[in-house]
Structure 1
């Protein structure tokens, strides 16, 4: 499954919409994705499963890249 992660780059950084970044990652579940990213020190705000029409929409974005971990 593909997940979109909304995060801040530092675990100590307060979530602010303007500073929120996102990335895509393959995983078996939300828990699996969080475990894969645990060593990066991200402050993960939200993990969202991407499928169907939403996946097609995101595929059209030129910044669409799936992180390989």
Structure 2
């Protein structure tokens, strides 16, 4: 079974908020503006597409969508 997981690296996040604009159900920002993942495992094609789009628009490339077997 294929599992997708959203991984965010706070140490490289510049706080642009593009992830939150793209998918506010999966991402938020902490008090310092750093990315927080609210939904680490996207369910369904729409959530997967939004997670991949958020990773693409992140200017610091701090978000990844990792595929693996579950």
TM-score (norm 2): 0.30
Structure (1 or 2) with the larger CA radius of gyration: 1
Higher strand share: 1
